């Protein structure tokens, strides 16, 4: 089987690229309930990524690493909640929001002053 660079994006469940790769595999017309802490978009995403018994909050989520263990708390990555909470709550709309955030991050990096990268002149 040939190597696909998207496999690297899928490896980190806390990266925006990984969330985008997952959203690309969902039915874009399928709706989700944002306020269902156990069945919302992000709970489904993290469960598919191997987290057990996920319960979402706005900035973090609870999960149980083993069936007999105490829960653990994981902080949500920047912008993940923004992807999920938009007015239109379909996987396709969430994918559009995630891609917009990804482009905004690239634009932000490109807008950095050249001094931030070191003075290359003189």
Could you please report the per-residue DSSP string of 24-43? HTS-TT-B--TT-TTTSHHH
The pLDDT score that the predictor gives to residue 25 is: 97
pLDDT digits (tens, 9 = 90+) for 81-122: 999 999 999 999 999 999 999 999 887 778 877 555 555 554
Give the separation between CA 81 and CA 57, rounded to whole angstroms: 9
Confidence of residue 42 (pLDDT cuts 50, 70, 90): very high
Residue 10, pLDDT above cutoff 70:
no
Q: Average of pLDDT values for 73-85?
A: 95
pTM (2 decimals)? Answer: 0.80
The pLDDT score that the predictor gives to residue 65 is: 87
- Using the 8-state DSSP alphabet, how is residue 18 labeled? H
The pLDDT score that the predictor gives to residue 122 is: 47
Paired sense of beta strands 60-63 and 72-75, if any: antiparallel
Which spans in 2-61 are helix H?
6-10, 16-24, 41-48
For the chain, the domains span 18-109
């Amino acid at each position: 089987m040939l190597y696909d660079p998207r496999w690297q994006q899928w490896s980190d469940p806390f990266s925006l690229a990984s969330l985008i790769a997952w959203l690309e595999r969902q039915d874009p017309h399928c709706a989700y309930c944002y306020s269902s802490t156990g069945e919302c978009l992000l709970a489904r995403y993290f469960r598919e990524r191997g987290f057990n018994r996920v319960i979402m909050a706005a900035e973090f989520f609870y999960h149980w690493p083993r069936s007999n263990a105490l829960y653990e708390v994981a902080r949500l990555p920047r912008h993940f909640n923004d992807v999920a909470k938009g007015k239109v709550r379909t996987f396709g709309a969430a994918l559009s929001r995630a891609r917009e955030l990804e482009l905004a991050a690239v634009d932000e990096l490109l807008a950095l002053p050249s001094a931030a990268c070191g003075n290359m002149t003189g």
